[in-house]
Chain A
Amino acid sequence: EADIYQTPRYLVIGTGKKITLECSQTMGHDKMYWYQQDPGMELHLIHYSYGVNSTEKGDLSSESTVSRIRTEHFPLTLESARPSHTSQYLCASSRQESSEKLFFGSGTQLSVL
């Protein structure tokens, strides 16, 4: 089993609130990713990081931001949540030399009212 953790598992919040979704991994993986997935739809990459102080935007435009101050930690922040942000957010990591084998966290199901 992969050691990658996401909190909270579920979050229901009102419009306009600032939220941070946490993601931590204890495998020492350099690469980390955030995907967004709606029910019955494919995963869309919204952010990724190749290592400390490296962050990039993915395919899907997102109003969220990320930071990578420590190898093991890759939080995602929404400054002002809106109902359109309602989705499942999945964090993943991979080793530098095997970058495509992704290990996923359990996900955060976000509902913005």
Chain B
Amino acid sequence: RKEVEQDPGPFNVPEGATVAFNCTYSNSASQSFFWYRQDCRKEPKLLMSVYSSGNEDGRFTAQLNRASQYISLLIRDSKLSDSATYLCAVNSLKGYSTLTFGKGTMLLVSP
């Protein structure tokens, strides 16, 4: 089983729609979780951290479900500019501290 798994999509949604992505992780001891956004042929950029109690940043809401070992990202009122690949990242527990990334979920928002 891969350490971090995501549905690659693409998710095709109209402007204004609400869309949600999930990301599952295999290591129950993982402590840090993040969502990154990556535009085509660009570097990943931190979108938001995911806290145990859930957190919101404008139209974006992130949730953590430790029991089922997944994190989610909800985007409300989708904009054309939200079209991108969303990468889930979980801290790696291999004796060194860094992030393990999922393949990402592609979102395409259409007019």
Q: Does B97 contact A (CB under 8 A)?
A: yes
- Decide: A42 and B101 in contact? CB cutoff 8 A: yes
Residues of B within 8 A of A102 (CB): 44, 46, 89, 98-99
- Decide: B98 and A33 in contact? CB cutoff 8 A: yes
Q: Known: A42-B102, A42-B104, A90-B43. Contact between A99 and B8, CB under 8 A? A: no
- Decide: B103 and A101 in contact? CB cutoff 8 A: no
- Decide: B46 and A103 in contact? CB cutoff 8 A: yes
Q: Which residue, of A35, A48, A102, A105, has the highest number of chain B Cβ atoms within 10 A?
A: A102
Interface of A is mostly: loop
Q: Does A112 contact B (CB under 8 A)?
A: no
Interface range, A side: 20 to 34
- Within A93-113, which residues are at the interface with B (CB < 8 Å)? 99-107, 109
Q: Give the distance to chain B from A36, nearest Cβ to Cβ, in Å.
A: 11
Residues of A within 8 A of B8 (CB): 40
Residues of A within 8 A of B98 (CB): 31, 33, 45, 48, 58, 99-100, 102
Q: How many A-B residue pairs have CB under 8 A?
A: 56
Residues of B within 8 A of A31 (CB): 97-98
- Within the complex, which residue of A41, A99, A101, A107 is in contact with B49, where a contact is CB–CB below 8 Å? A101
- Within B19-61, which residues are at the interface with A (CB < 8 Å)? 32, 34, 41-46, 49
- Decide: B45 and A42 in contact? CB cutoff 8 A: no
Residues of B within 8 A of A58 (CB): 98
Q: Which residue, of B34, B91, B94, B98, has the highest number of chain A Cβ atoms within 10 A?
A: B98
Q: Which residue, of B41, B99, B102, has the highest number of chain A Cβ atoms within 10 A?
A: B99
Closest A-B pairs by Cβ, 9 of them: A104-B43, A43-B101, A100-B32, A42-B103, A99-B97, A100-B91, A42-B101, A107-B43, A106-B43
Other A-B pairs beyond A43-B87, A100-B34, A101-B46, 16, CB < 8 Å: A31-B98, A42-B102, A42-B103, A43-B44, A43-B101, A56-B96, A59-B92, A90-B43, A90-B44, A100-B32, A100-B97, A100-B99, A103-B46, A104-B44, A105-B43, A107-B42
